[in-house]
Amino acid sequence: MRIREGGDEVPDNGRAPRRRRGPLAGLLVADFCWMGVGAVATRMLADFGADVVKIEDRTRLDMPRRLPFYKGEVRTYGEEDPNPDPDKGGLFNNYNRNKLGVTIDMRTPRGREIAERLIAKSSVVTENFAPGVMERWGLTYEHLRELCPEVIFARMSGYGHRGPHTEYRSYGPVIQAVSGLTHISGLPGREPSGWGFSYMDNQAAYYNSAAILMALLHREMTGEGTLIDVSALEVGINLLGPDLLDVGVNGAVTRRPGFPSGNRLEHPRAAPHGVYPAAGDDRWIAIAVFGDADWAALVTALGRPAWTDDSRFATQESRCANQDALDEHLATWTREREAHEAMHLLQAAGVAAGAVQNSQDLDERDPQLAHRGTFFELGHPVIGEARFEGSPVLFSRTEQDNWRSAPLLGEDNEYVCTQLLGMSAGEVSELVAEGVL
């Protein structure tokens, strides 16, 4: 048993740190990251054996700790609990599985001293604070090299740490807008729709983890550490390839009458081509017809209703010219059918069709993901059993090392201080009493 802050007994459940397995076993990471863009990047390292020590502040909780996302208890970013149970954050649990967790008050000299001792033992240091935070603590790249000459210092921010916009703060939706991704999304004739999720947080995170792995390979070959500066804005621009090509070669603008074309395909022409309502609440099915053979298969699958004989739908060209009317007829048919039922019916007839799956479908119904073991469960002392998404990459001889769910707040203070930093139990108790840990 261990005692959680507040006096509650919490079963250990085999959560004690152990020797890690995987290609990154033996790698120690001092992780100052928070939110998604940093936490997801270091989660990938932790999944494959690295000892990632997540450094937190008890008085300024990571926002995912304030947002339950599990077993029916859900709140948005605008509804975070001002006085949450810090160990109930489902999003935090997902972002920080397989990591160690310590609390250090970096506003105190003793707190900064402990952090520096941890950095000296580590070979990778990561952070994604607003620019200037690490500098205020004296943790510049030059100082980190004094503590650990071969250190890899991975910095992750919205705009990067060089340039006139370095000081700007950002989150995923901001980067999506500034990079242009928001501008090119939406339906024809409508204002840009934007995206409802911090998509760029996760995309930038994968670039971050890839950069760290490249730096590790470089150090393995040369013995040299490096400073990594990843800009989420530039990651977003990397996703604009087709539009940049269209603008550069064709002189097109990304928003013009009738464009973006929504779910309709421009090249090659296809009709019907779209996402259509299915039976149920917010259920949809995607259907694509590329030529006369596909059209004949669709007509057969629909049971040859009278409207399919309309001269407006006789050729691919005329169907493309009359897509509004065509979509209205097809939507009448799809509304009466469950999405997966309609998908299987159309696919059996040779029509390209797919049910639009929600998260429950992916988790509980998708046979491909089930076969590959994409989702797995880990127990948590407060939340209970929780479901996680695994790595999208499978190796022939390497498995993801899922040793436990996310750390409770300060769960590994004693272990990190005594086992990794060589401090005495008495010294740790003193630091706890002073509020440093």
CA distance 255 to 136: 43
Q: Could you tell me how far CA 43 lies from the centroid of its own chain?
A: 10
The active-site residue, picked from 51, 62, 87, 201, is 201
CA distance 172 to 370: 30
Q: Could you tell me how far CA 33 lies from the centroid of its own chain?
A: 14
Cβ atoms of 200 and 172 within 8 Å: the answer is yes
CA distance 222 to 217: 9
Burial of 371 by CB count in 10 Å (0-12 exposed, 13-18 middle, 19+ buried)? Answer: exposed
Residue 91 burial (CB count, 10 A)? 23
* Terminal Cα-to-Cα distance of the chain (whole angstroms): 20
| CA neighbor of 216 nearest in space, from 279, 144, 131, 125 | 125
Long-range contacts of 282-285 (CB under 8 A, 24+ apart): 282/358, 283/338, 283/339, 283/355, 283/356, 284/339, 284/355, 284/356, 285/334, 285/339, 285/342, 285/343, 285/353, 285/354, 285/355, 285/356
Which residue reads 């997966």 in tokens?
Answer: 340
Q: Which two tokens stand for residue 307?
A: 């409207």
> Which runs of consecutive H residues, i.e. helices, occur in 268-405?
292-302, 316-321, 323-334, 339-348, 359-364, 367-372
Q: How far is CA 54 from CA 95, 118, 119, 259, 420, in A?
A: 11, 11, 12, 45, 14
Q: Which two tokens stand for residue 200?
A: 């760029």
201 catalytic? Reply is yes
Backbone φ, ψ for residue 116 (5° rounding): -70, -35
Q: Is 188 helix (H, G, I), strand (E, B) or coil?
A: coil
- H-helix or E-strand spanning residue 46: helix 35-47
Cβ atoms of 414 and 408 within 8 Å: the answer is no
Q: Which residues contact 163 (CB under 8 A, 6 or more apart)?
A: none
Positions annotated as catalytic residues are 201
